[in-house]
């Protein structure tokens, strides 16, 4: 977000004032300040606009009564705030960086380097059913990524109309929409089943594409007698029990065909691990004669590993050389951002700012895919203010460490799925020039 010339910060980062409790908002001395939304503190509004905002806020809180809502069902361990020794967001010290950089080098060198976990092939694919869309766009980056992910599903036999595609962190539902278009193309507009999509997101996105999926079937001339089935669940993934999904989309079809395909494009940090555990809980309680669909596969484009959480990540694969407590995991995950953080153009001949680990706003270019700007191989340790980074590690070296941390975190996820009966691959589905966050996890259950 940009800032006004008269303000030091953008609207998102302006300080917030406490809501007045004894006088009209319009007469409050901080009327020009921003306040946290009472319905969802995750965003803020101008105090003068508060009353109007409350009538239309997309985050209106409702009492959750749906059967699928099971609080914290997909967490692996208690939240870090349950540990009294943890100080949230405390600055990371030089000594802490030293300890965890040593851990990264030891773990990577002995467990990952030279193994299949670092041999990640580049397979940037195209789906011919989406070529028209590519031709209509000036910025083709997201379309290229979506096309490659959808083509990857086709390559492993998951692009079938009888499957139910569950998009986690769906946002507007763009991936599902273009997956549906690819399905129609594959079946020459005559799919054998009504395509089915279940969209999961915790926010109430505006301008959702749910209805466009159905309209596309009409516009593209689908010959299937009924429209696609599209259902959306608004919830945090940590509280979702897929087995209790109340729209009956995941029940077996009468002909016994089809399965559940979990998909996502850039599912940030902890959301990836929550999704994997959500899927594991779904299949973990299946029994013979179960009326629920089998799991057909998982495809997640990985993103923002610095937002992984101690409560959801499968830590058991990382504890071979050190005990990892909530503080240690916080440091380790934040170091992963060194792999993709860059500097603004005016500072690209110097090291990045001391906020590299924490802040997206210092990057040259930021979007949902992470940083896509230029990198500098300079060994200059000074940031733009002439201060050294607290770790005292040069920028090029930090980027190298960040890449290793990403590999370590992905290693834990892959091992977790392999141990639960999956064939797992990490694939670079687009070139780094398209997105620095360019690895997807593909997992197919091994049938016994």
The predicted structure's pLDDT at residue 310: 94
The least confident of 7-11, 147-151, 242-246 is: 7-11
- Mean per-residue pLDDT over the chain, rounded: 81
Q: What's residue 352's pLDDT?
A: 38
d(CA 59, CA 366): 25
User: pLDDT band at residue 52, thresholds of 50, 70 and 90?
Assistant: confident
What's the predicted TM-score (pTM) here?
0.80
pLDDT interval class at 118 (50, 70, 90): confident
Best-predicted range by mean pLDDT (32-36, 224-228, 337-341): 224-228
Q: Is the pLDDT of residue 81 over 70?
A: no
* Residue 314 confidence class, pLDDT cut points 50, 70, 90: very high
Taking only the tens place, the pLDDT of each residue in 315-350 is 999 999 999 999 999 999 999 999 887 554 444 544
Q: How far apart are CA 294 and CA 284, in angstroms?
A: 11
What pLDDT shows up at residue 5?
83
The more confidently predicted of residues 382 and 147 is 147
Contact at 8 Å (CB) between 422 and 300?
A: no
Q: How much of the chain exceeds pLDDT 90, in percent?
A: 52
3-state secondary structure of 17: coil
CA angle, residues 196, 200, 202, in degrees to nearest 5: 160
Q: What is the pLDDT of residue 53?
A: 85
Q: What is the pLDDT of residues 232-242, one digit of tens each?
A: 999 999 999 99
CB 258 within 8 A of CB 293: yes
How large is the average pLDDT for residues 196-213?
A: 88
Confidence (pLDDT) at 282: 94
Is 369 a residue whose pLDDT tops 50?
Answer: no
3-state secondary structure of 146: helix
**Helix segments in 162-243, DSSP class H:** 174-186, 210-219
* pLDDT higher than 60, residue 74: yes
pLDDT value for 79: 72
pLDDT in tens, 263-282: 999 888 999 999 999 999 99
In Å, the largest CA–CA distance within the chain is 70
Mean pLDDT, residues 2-9 taken together: 78
Q: Where in the chain are the domains? A: 11-56, 85-111+318-403, 128-303
Residue 222 has pLDDT above 60, yes or no: yes
Q: What is the pLDDT of residue 429?
A: 93
Nearby residues of 147 by Cβ (< 8 Å), 6 or more positions away: 125, 126, 127, 130, 134, 178
**Mean pLDDT of the 418-422 span:** 96
- Asked which of 78-92, 98-112, 181-195, 374-388 is least confident by mean pLDDT, the reply is 374-388
Residue 22 has pLDDT above 90, yes or no: no
**What pLDDT was estimated at residue 121?**
86
Topology (CATH) of 128-303: Rossmann fold (3.40.50)
Q: How confident is the model at residue 62 (pLDDT cuts 50, 70, 90)?
A: low
- Up-side HSE of residue 328: CA atoms within 13 Å toward CB? 15
- pLDDT over 80 at 395, yes or no: yes
Q: Return d(Cα 385, Cα 337) in angstroms, integer.
A: 21
């Amino acid at each position: 977000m940009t800032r006004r010339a008269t303000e030091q910060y953008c609207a998102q980062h302006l300080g917030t004032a406490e809501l007045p409790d004894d006088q009209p908002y319009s007469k409050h001395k901080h009327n020009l300040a921003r306040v946290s939304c009472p319905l969802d503190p995750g965003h803020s509004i101008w105090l003068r606009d508060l009353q109007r905002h409350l009538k239309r806020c997309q985050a209106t809180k409702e009492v959750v009564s749906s059967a699928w809502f099971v609080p914290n069902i997909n967490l692996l361990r208690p939240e870090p705030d349950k540990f009294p020794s943890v100080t949230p967001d405390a600055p990371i010290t030089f000594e802490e960086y030293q300890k965890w950089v040593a851990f990264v080098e030891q773990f990577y060198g002995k467990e990952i380097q030279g193994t299949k976990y670092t041999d990640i092939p580049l397979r940037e694919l195209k789906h011919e059913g989406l070529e028209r869309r590519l031709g209509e766009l000036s910025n083709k980056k997201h379309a290229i990524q979506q096309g490659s992910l959808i083509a990857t599903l086709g390559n492993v036999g998951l692009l079938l109309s009888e499957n139910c595609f569950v998009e986690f962190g769906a946002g507007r539902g763009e991936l599902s929409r273009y997956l549906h278009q690819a399905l129609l193309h594959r079946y020459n507009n005559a799919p054998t089943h009504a395509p089915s999509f279940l969209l999961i997101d915790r926010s109430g996105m505006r301008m959702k594409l749910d209805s466009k999926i159905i309209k596309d079937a009409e516009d593209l001339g689908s010959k299937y007698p009924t429209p696609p089935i599209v259902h959306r669940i608004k919830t945090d993934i940590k509280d979702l029990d897929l087995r209790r999904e109340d729209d009956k989309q995941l029940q077996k079809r009468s002909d016994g065909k089809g399965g559940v395909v979990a998909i996502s494009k850039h599912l940030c940090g902890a959301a990836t691990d929550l999704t994997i555990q959500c899927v594991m809980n779904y299949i973990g309680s299946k029994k013979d004669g179960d009326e629920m669909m089998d799991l057909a596969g998982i495809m997640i484009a990985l993103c923002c590993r610095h937002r992984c959480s101690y409560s959801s990540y499968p830590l058991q694969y990382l504890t071979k050389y050190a005990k990892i407590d909530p503080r240690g995991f916080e440091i380790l995950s934040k170091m992963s951002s060194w792999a993709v953080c860059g500097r603004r153009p005016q500072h690209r001949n110097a090291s990045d700012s001391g906020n590299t680990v924490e802040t997206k706003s210092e990057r040259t270019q930021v979007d949902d895919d992470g940083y896509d700007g230029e990198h500098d191989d300079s060994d200059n340790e000074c940031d733009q203010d002439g201060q050294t980074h607290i770790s005292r590690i040069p920028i090029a070296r930090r980027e190298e460490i960040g890449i290793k941390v990403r590999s370590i975190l992905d290693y834990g996820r892959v091992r977790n799925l392999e141990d639960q009966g999956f064939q797992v691959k990490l694939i670079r589905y687009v070139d780094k020039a398209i997105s620095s966050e360019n690895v997807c996890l593909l997992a197919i259950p091994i049938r016994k």
